[in-house]
Chain A
Amino acid sequence: MSDATTGKFRSATEEAPLARWALIGLAVLGLGILVAAPLIAVFAEALAQGWKAAVASLGNRDAQSAIRLTLMIAAIAVPLNAAFGIAAAWFITKFDFRGKAFLITLIDLPFSVSPVVAGLCIVLMFGTNSLVGGWLVAHGYPIVFALPGIVLATMFITFPFVARELIPVMIEQGRAEEEAALTLGATGWRTFWTVTLPNIRWALLYGVLLCNARAMGEFGAVAVVSGKIRGQTATMPITIEMLYNEYLSVAAFSMAAVLTLLALVTLLLKTALEIRHADQLASTRRH
């Protein structure tokens, strides 16, 4: 709006330059210590004995199995949650019904439940001692201490991500375009694929990105339900814990570095989306 500080004059809505630089300095220093330092520490510890040791530690059988397991969990949990997110956003934004606010609160619930409590809930529901779990185990379908339990725990933790991103975007876009498509004779599916989806694709990608990052990194809930069986139910974060507790620092930090790279790529893509498609994102900022 105003042309900043022209010469000796300072705009009425600006702080003195000294105060401004002091605040910027504090922000940089704080984020440097709190965020940048741990980031550097991960890579420094991973490479403490050189590249070769780091890469070699990722090559052993348990590490490979952990990576495969984590990828598999994300490959199941993320699409399921994306499907849920789309369905929930459609249901909530295209229809008017009583209890909508309550439904949204329920969908948001996992954000305010401790991951450990989430894991506990799943153990109590599907553990061998429970009614459902006992029956399933007896018929050869163990949930807890097996893949389904880990997937369920991961889904619980990442449940709201996609829905929460899509709902505000779809509220903003309204129903007019879909209504137009319907009056032109399009079927419901066709309307969804050709009208709704193109309008929400970046928001969907954004939500999926966050959901995936959290799914691959989930620790607390998975720690409770996985049983931590090496080579079977140990995900990457669980493996990091086991290696770390065995004082295999390079191996633990090498695997941590892989997950850190994933986090950095996620942030990069997220920032790119925010810059290029800001108009189509509710962005996590508009809570």
Chain B
Amino acid sequence: MPISLPQPAVTKDATRDAIMDIEIDEISKAFGSATALSPVSLAIPSGALVALLGPSGSGKTTLLRILGGLEFPTSGRVLFNGQDATGLTVQDRRAGFVFQSYALFRHMTVFENIAYGLNARPRASRPPKAEITRRVTKLLDLIQLPEIGHRYPSQLSGGQRQRVALARALAIEPRMLLLDEPFGALDAKVRKELRQGLRDIHDETGLTTVFVTHDQEEAMELADLVVVMSMGRIEQIGKPQDIRARPASAFVRDFVSA
């Protein structure tokens, strides 16, 4: 791994964690009387780059938030490396989450944003200051923005913000990377550049990565595995070329040919 992440006390099996497979077992979610997810099942192999593809209201973001521990399923289980993680709090999941709006802390510099997760650890497992600085610097290099540590988010471009959000999520040595419409707020040109950036970071870190998108081209181009969703159900799971070649339903055919 190019970024050598020293192992803190709480995560003794960090290396094994980094190649984490995810299993979604009959997960359903209802908000009041509205069903966001009918029971869905999905196995994500470790180290894969997976796209959850679908129109708005298809349940893809809900599924991602359930993986991240931001939403809890009405029924069903989530397993990480075969272990039940359904009841794990969001803090304990260590899922690097990149929000659609990036959700950077506006009152903190880029440096402070990236260091946030490390500083938030209990004193016993918090890395020393010099170590935090070293890691943040390394992450700024990784996202190819070594000079912006002292700036505030309001002074960054959209693409820079996205990369800072990614670096912030990586700083906690996540067990997986979850991204909600990571390119949704960017213009077409920047979007293309950053797609490759995400691919590179995925390949470098080897993290199991799941991202949500409504853009079929993006999903097809970037992901190893595409999960097409509609109305709270999974329509098809497959490699991009397979989905193109053999759509499983009329919906998939229409959606991917759009």
Contact = CB atoms under 8 A, between A and B. Distances in A.
A12 B87 contact: no
Interface stretch (A3-11, A75-83, A100-108): A3-11
A62 to B, nearest CB: 58
Query: What does DSSP make chain A's interface, helix, strand, loop or mixed?
Result: loop
B71 interface: yes
A2 B87 contact: no
Nearest to A13: B70
Given A2-B71, A6-B72, A12 B90 contact: yes
Most chain A beta-carbon contacts within 10 A, residue among B71, B72, B87: B72
A3 to B, nearest CB: 6
B148 to A, nearest CB: 28
B31 A12 contact: no
B69 interface: yes
Query: What does DSSP make chain B's interface, helix, strand, loop or mixed?
Result: loop
A3 B31 contact: yes
B32 interface: yes
Contacts of B71: 2
A7 to B, nearest CB: 8
Interface residues of B, number: 10
Interface string B26-38: 0000011000000
B254 to A, nearest CB: 31
B92 to A, nearest CB: 12
B69 A12 contact: yes
Most chain B beta-carbon contacts within 10 A, residue among A8, A9, A11: A9
Most chain A beta-carbon contacts within 10 A, residue among B71, B74, B89: B71
Nearest to A6: B72
Interface residues of A, number: 7
Interface in B69-95: 69-72, 74, 87, 89-90
B32 A3 contact: yes
Contacts of B31: 2-3
Contact of B70 (A3, A6, A8, A12): A12
A11 B91 CA distance: 11
A3 B87 CA distance: 16
Contact of B87 (A6, A8, A11): A8
Nearest to B71: A2
Contacts of A2: 31, 71
Interface string B8-32: 0000000000000000000000011
Nearest to B30: A3
Contacts of B69: 12
Contacts of B87: 8-9
B236 to A, nearest CB: 29
B116 to A, nearest CB: 15
A11 B68 CA distance: 12
Nearest to A7: B72
B32 to A, nearest CB: 6
Interface string A1-37: 0110010110110000000000000000000000000
Interface string B47-82: 000000000000000000000011110100000000
Contacts of B70: 11-12
Interface in B150-205: none
Interface string A152-192: 00000000000000000000000000000000000000000
A238 to B, nearest CB: 48
Contacts of A6: 72, 74
B250 to A, nearest CB: 33
A8 B87 CA distance: 9
Contacts of B72: 6, 9
A9 B70 CA distance: 10
A38 B89 CA distance: 45
A2 B69 CA distance: 12
Contacts of B74: 6
B72 to A, nearest CB: 4
A177 B72 CA distance: 48
B128 to A, nearest CB: 28
Interface string B85-109: 0010110000000000000000000
A8 B88 CA distance: 11
A9 B89 CA distance: 8
A4 to B, nearest CB: 11
A48 B129 CA distance: 67
5 contacts: A3-B31, A3-B32, A9-B72, A12-B69, A12-B89
Given A2-B31, A12-B70, 12 more contacts: A2-B71, A3-B31, A3-B32, A6-B72, A6-B74, A8-B87, A9-B72, A9-B87, A11-B70, A12-B69, A12-B89, A12-B90
Interface of A: 2-3, 6, 8-9, 11-12
Interface of B: 31-32, 69-72, 74, 87, 89-90
* 4 A-B pairs with the lowest CB-CB distances in the bound complex, closest first: A9-B72, A12-B90, A12-B70, A3-B31
